Each structure stands twice: as C-alpha cells, then as structure tokens.
Structure 1
C-alpha cells in the first residue's frame, strides 16, 4: 500500500497555467476545425479521421512491455517485463533483475492504444534503496490515437549509464513505475526491483 508521500513522488510535473482540454472522442476530434489543413495533418498522424473510431470499450491504453536494451548484453539475452498480464505483477518485485554495473543501456516501453485519444502520456519511475529515494525519471511519451495498422507503439528512452562500484552493488533497488496522462488517468502502476552486478 502506498503512502501519500510516495504518491507525491509519482505525481507528474505540471506547467503553471496549463489546463488540459475536456476529454473528447475520436470523432469529436475529427470534426474539430475540419477546415484547418495543418491541424488535419496532425490529426491524421494520430489516426484521427471521421468514422475511424473504434468502439469505446475497455481501457483506452494497454501496457505491453518494459524492456532494457544494451549493446553489452550477451547475444540472445533479453530483459523484458511483460505488463500485458497484470496477474503476475506481484511476483516481479520479488525477483530482482540483474543489471551490469557501469554500462550504457536504455529503456523501451511498448503499449497499445485501444480507442479514443490519449494526450500528454508520460512514464514516471521512482527508484529507492533501503527506503530512500535515489532517482526519479519522468519521460514524456506524447499524444496518441488508435494505431491505423494495429501495431503497438514503441518508445525508446534516452540512454543512461548504470552506477558502478562496491557500494552501488550492495543491496536491492526497488522501483515503482507509473504511466499517466494529462487527465491524470493512471494506466498502470507497478513495482519491480533490480540489483547491480559485475556481469549480466
């Protein structure tokens, strides 16, 4: 169970004076300023065309995977957390992932937009060791409509370098991750863990 302070850590940053617009359906967006050519190009890039809306049933967004990529990973080795089946999320935090110390890596998330428009989507994670916050990441993902091809969306984060040294290798790092949009809809909130090791 999270405490109010932990939820504050996972709250998205806000821009003073910015207020998200009212939630609209795909068809409402398609009809909005229909004569504006540049707006129509932007809407088309999100798959917003009149009559193309999928039935609005179930969640707007489904998280599929969170992956770690590194050129230093041994051939054939992959680190993928399956998020499409939430029944095993409790097990994820009990089985820390091994991450090699001092290597460059990047995170990729994969998700599916099922219907409607999702605006201001962002990924937030807080890393703690022994209950003390050691890192926070907030990654803006953007705005999306349902994929015209049915293919999931993939977002690669900027490369980062894992810490190194004996102190960094001691203990387990606990991570809480959240995907949230401009309307403060939380699509997934889960915990996982990792350890820094000398080898993958």
Structure 2
C-alpha cells in the first residue's frame, strides 16, 4: 500500500525546517512528533495483544512431568493425587518435555453396517476411500491414540468435507486433556448424519486435523468416503 507521507529531498546539509500554522502559531512539527509517539504507543500495545493472542490468553510454559511430580512431594496427599491423575510413573514416558500424541486407528461406527477400522497412518499404496455410508444414516468416528512424555492440554479436532472442490461441511470439537500412559485412549467423536438425495450421493474428500491449545498439530489426515443410496 502506498504511503501518504511527505517526500524529503536528499542531499541537503541544513536541518529540516519546522512548519507552523500561520493562524495559531503552533509548531506543526511538535504536533507531528506527539502524534508519532501516540501511534508508536498504539503499535506497541497492538504487538503486545498479538503476542498474548486474540483472546489475551498466553499458554503457560511446559514443565517436565518429573518436575511436576517432584514439586510438593513432601505433601503425601498431594503426591497421591498427582499419581492418581497422571498414572504410574514410568521413566521412558517422561523423558522429554514436549507431549507426544500418536494416533493408531480410526473406526467408523454406523447403524446397520459393520464397523470399518483403518490403521494410521494410511499407507501410500492404500486407498484413501476409507469407508462407505448410506444416505441419511447416523455414524460416529472412534479414535485410538496414545500420549507420551507430558500432559497434552486441550486436544481439539476439526473436520472439513468437500465434494467436487466445494466445501460442504466443517465441524470442530474438543477431545480434552490427557495424561501420558502406556494404555491407549479411545474417544468417540460427535454423532453425525449423512445427507440424503440424489445430489448427496458420491465420493467426498475430507481433512481431519488434531491440535492442542498451544497449536501443536499431531495429525492431519486426508481421506475420502462415499455415500450410496439407502
């Protein structure tokens, strides 16, 4: 965007002259400096707001899980509460500060159809059409995943669906906060209903994405599914 400021000629050795209002006698250069300072303050506040995020929330820095367990360990009741919350302490699960979330499978559960289970990640030579549903049928996706090293906070998902290049649906939801453990977690996403009618039938493409509240992305799954006549 082109600026609207004045152009200063180069090559002059004298100091720039100040501009004055002939009616008031005020030095316009001083007013410009004051306005510039106000703009600078506004920009600084804007930078601070941007660093804090749109809602002003700044995530707390990650703390190694061992440190969290060591803190206040003299308090027996608090120590037992932490162990109950975080599960058994196992060295290879707590060796790094960043949480690690690994998705192992996605299962499609739909009335009147056999469950379809797909292992993750999808192999390169595997069809990306993961499942087929009947029009007007209800279905849910069931995820299996493990968490290692640290607590993953505010794990969310988003699912965007396209047909012939046009976005036809978008859903978002919260999975929750999960502590590291050896056993896998299983989580059911919200129930959805496939559309009905001639125009609804066909193959759809979709992208399923999982992030935590620090915007770490743990999986982006590009897949397809088909809707057939009931």
Partner of 2:21: none
Partner of 1:27: 66
Which has the higher relative contact order, 1 or 2, with Cα contacts under 8 A spaced 6 or more apart? 1
Contact between 1:54 and 1:114, CA under 8 Å: does it hold in 2?
yes
Partner of 1:188: 219
Partner of 1:79: 116
Q: What is the rounded CA distance, in whole Å, between the counterparts of 2:98 and 2:127 in structure 1?
A: 25
Q: Which has the higher helix share?
A: 2
Q: Which has the larger radius of gyration?
A: 2
RMSD: 3.1
List alignment gaps of at least 5 residues for structure 2: 1-52
Per-residue CA shift, 1:51-76, capped at 9, x if unaligned?
79533399711101111112321xxx
Answering whether residue 174 of structure 2 is matched by residue 174 of structure 1, we say no
Per-residue CA shift, 1:66-119, capped at 9, x if unaligned?
11112321xxx3212211xx36157343x3521111111111111011221111
Contact between 2:161 and 2:169, CA under 8 Å: does it hold in 1?
yes
Q: 1:101 to 1:110 in 2, by over 3 A?
A: same
Q: How does 1:34-183 map to 2 (within 5 A)?
A: 41=81, 44-47=84-87, 53-56=93-96, 60-73=100-113, 77-83=114-120, 86=121, 88=123, 91-93=126-128, 95=129, 97-147=131-181, 150-169=182-201, 171-183=202-214
List alignment gaps of at least 5 residues for structure 1: 1-13
Q: What is the rounded CA distance, in whole Å, between the counterparts of 1:51 and 1:194 in structure 2?
A: 41
Partner of 1:17: 56
Q: TM-score, length-normalised on structure 2?
A: 0.65
